[in-house]
Amino acid sequence: MRGIFYPQKLSHAGNANYGIDNSTESIIVSMDDDVSGFTPGWYEEFIKPLEDKNVVMVGARLTNKDGQVVITSSGNNDLSKDYVDENIRHLPGTVIAYRRNDLGEIRWDEEYYGGSWNDTDFCEQLKAKFPEGKFVINNKVQIKHLNEMKEQSANFDNNQERFFEKWPKLHLTPVVMIGTPAYGGNFQLDYLLSTIGIVHSGIQWKPYYIKNESLIGRARNTILSAFYHDKAMNRLLFMDADIGLDQADFLKIANSRHDVTAAAVRLKSHDQQLNITKIVEAIDDQYVSVEHVGTAVFSLSRKAVNALVKNAIKNGDVYTKGTPGGDETKEYYDVFKTGVRDGVFLSEDFWCCQTLRELGFKVVVDNTILTRHTGNVEFKTIPAIPEK
């Protein structure tokens, strides 16, 4: 075994590529600089799975600094066998081994910055070359990962965006935050029944409720900001407390390929009026893009939220004291404003749509979703005795 140490600080991918290009050994082991726990003979034990020609990569079983096994992006935490490969498509690049001859022109993509997603991309390149190849975790070699990398979280969103642009056929599993402003803490029964359907939808989700907030724009800002800071979530769904939504329609929104996806909602009137303005174009039989749509049922991808936050920061629309009782240690972003644009006073939801369109996003409405909007109706009394 020969070690290669880098003469200068390159990017994470650049370091890995330097090792590949300067290696003469048949097997290459790539590892981060924040790992420990290596025992005598670990290398020979670690690379054994590569004796199987169907194995294209092997990774160590990672633990935290206290020796506890950590959940990784490999998706397999089975410790009952020495080697596991079930349902593994990617391995974290903390400690991995692969054959030099298998690579050919494959290299780590240096367009990623930091340690996030470039290992997933590297695995995907190997998977494309060897569709039946196995990715194996070697449980007999457990390595402590100290997680000292500083730049990963700061660039996670940009790297994730690049990854799914590069590999569009890989669907990002939705993890949805459902944000609901509920003034007075009140919810309509139809909303509660809808959430029961969402619970059984198979989609991972979490609620974010705000009660007793009289400013709807500030309430929506708080929800969007909470989503932005929670990196485990990748889709935000605003769903008002007086809305009913079937499970099948929730799934359409959660799995939408569009960054901005809404459902039309009938206004609380006897007229058949919807909460949308001018239709810009018909995209297909399911989707149309519009100028504005209300946020009663309104979803944003992580990419769209990141763009809105970046725009707010650029414009100085950042604050720390917002909804009463809110967390003042985090930033909030004033995205849902009200005001005049081009001679029209825009509500907070239409303002957000206008901003999204200016940032290059289409505001898309799913025409196949049928929502229910609960409201009070006035019934006038008619004479009990007909006039003669």
pLDDT at 42 over 50: yes
Distance from C-alpha of 133 to C-alpha of 350, rounded to nearest angstrom: 49
Q: Which fold has domain 175-373?
A: Spore Coat Polysaccharide Biosynthesis Protein SpsA; Chain A (3.90.550)
Chain centroid, CA 235 distance in Å: 6
Distance from C-alpha of 308 to C-alpha of 376, rounded to nearest angstrom: 34
pLDDT band at 117 (very low <50, low <70, confident <90, very high): confident
Q: What is the pTM of this model?
A: 0.65
Q: What is the pLDDT of residues 293-347, one digit of tens each?
A: 999 999 999 999 999 999 999 999 999 887 766 666 689 999 999 999 989 999 9
pLDDT at 106 over 50: yes
- Position 366 scores a pLDDT of 96
pLDDT band at 74 (very low <50, low <70, confident <90, very high): low
Q: What is the 3-state secondary structure (H, E, C) of 46-83?
A: HCHHHHCCCEEEEEEEEECCCCCECCCCCCCCCCCCCE
Residue 162: CB atoms within 10 A of its CB come to 18
- Position 149 scores a pLDDT of 47
CATH topology agreement for domains 12-156 and 175-373? yes
Most confidently predicted of 3-12, 236-245, 318-327:
236-245
- Position 113 scores a pLDDT of 74
Domain ranges of the chain: 12-156, 175-373
Q: What is the mean pLDDT of residues 240-250?
A: 95
Q: What is the mean pLDDT of the chain?
A: 88
Q: What is the pLDDT of residues 136-189, one digit of tens each?
A: 999 999 999 887 544 445 677 788 778 888 887 776 678 899 999 998 889 999
Distance from C-alpha of 283 to C-alpha of 70, rounded to nearest angstrom: 44
Q: Which fold has domain 12-156?
A: Spore Coat Polysaccharide Biosynthesis Protein SpsA; Chain A (3.90.550)
Q: What is the mean pLDDT of residues 76-101?
A: 89
Sign (positive/negative) of CA torsion 280, 367, 227, 232? negative
